[in-house]
Chains A and B, each alone.
Chain A
Amino acid sequence: GNSVTQMEGPVTLSEEAFLTINCTYTATGYPSLFWYVQYPGEGLQLLLKATKADDKGSNKGFEATYRKETTSFHLEKGSVQVSDSAVYFCALISVEALNFGKGTSLLVTP
């Protein structure tokens, strides 16, 4: 079935460091791909999405490119801030359900 696998955390970075969180997917066809973020004490928020191969989603300095050759949707940010500390979830849409990865916890230190 359709699924995503994302790198395990926690990831700890210093402020202004470069961030990559890896996500690979297994799917029939080319479903839309998502990154959701969960800040401490808050609900899940959509961070970005891509609906077809080679699409790049971007928001708040984060980017991810839908790559069908490598079946990947890695999340990147050039310079992280303390306020980016959160749990990040990669997901794909399968019929009507979102299939999520286990989440990657990111801690950014000053």
Chain B
Amino acid sequence: DTGVSQDPRHKITKRGQNVTFRCDPISEHNRLYWYRQTLGQGPEFLTYFQNEAQLEKSRLLSDRFSAERPKGSFSTLEIQRTEQGDSAMYLCASSPPDRISTDTQYFGPGTRLTVL
């Protein structure tokens, strides 16, 4: 049984560069979520997809951030022109389509981004 996977696990980049992260949800989970977690804080919601449709975006998701889920399976999160304030752990989660457990989200290990 494979859980949510994320790639890369760590990314170090220079300010102004673009970065892209990938998330593979649990098989058959139709909902996918992105969160950001900074040191000493709880995760903060960024965006979510149901199948390939992006249905909700947080105000935290500035114009430099874009997320896609083109075939309703894996998702990518791109940050353009990175800033030092973007340094954080980026978490992906997925949840199943059945009614009973639909509000339970299963998290991946995260991608730690460091912007120098």
Listed in ascending order, the chain A residues whose CB lies under 8 Å from chain B are: 32, 34, 36, 42-46, 49, 51, 89, 91, 93, 95-103
Contact of B103 among A32, A42, A103 (CB under 8 A): A32
Contacts of B33 in A (CB 8 A): 96-98
Query: Quick check: is B105 within 8 A (CB to CB) of the other chain?
Result: yes
Task: Give A101 to B42 CA distance when docked, in angstroms.
Answer: 6
| Residues of A with C-beta under 8 A to B55 | 96
B31 touches A96 (CB 8 A): yes
| B23-39 interface bits toward A, Cβ cutoff 8 Å, 1 = contact, 0 = none | 00000000101010000
Can you give 30 contacting A-B residue pairs, CB < 8 Å? A32-B103, A34-B104, A36-B107, A43-B4, A43-B110, A44-B43, A44-B91, A46-B104, A46-B106, A89-B43, A93-B103, A96-B31, A96-B33, A96-B48, A96-B55, A97-B33, A97-B58, A98-B35, A98-B45, A98-B93, A98-B105, A100-B42, A100-B43, A100-B44, A101-B42, A102-B40, A102-B41, A102-B42, A103-B40, A103-B41
Of all chain A residues, which has the CB nearest B44? A100
A96 nearest in chain B by CB position: B48
Complex Cα gap A36–B107 (Å) = 10
Contact yes or no, B42 A103, CB < 8 A: yes
B40 touches A96 (CB 8 A): no
Complex Cα–Cα for A38 and B110 (A): 12
Q: In the complex, what's the smallest C-beta–C-beta distance from B56 to chain A, in angstroms?
A: 6
Cα A106 to Cα B87 with chains together (Å): 25
Closest 5 CB pairs of A and B: A100-B42, A97-B45, A44-B107, A43-B109, A93-B103
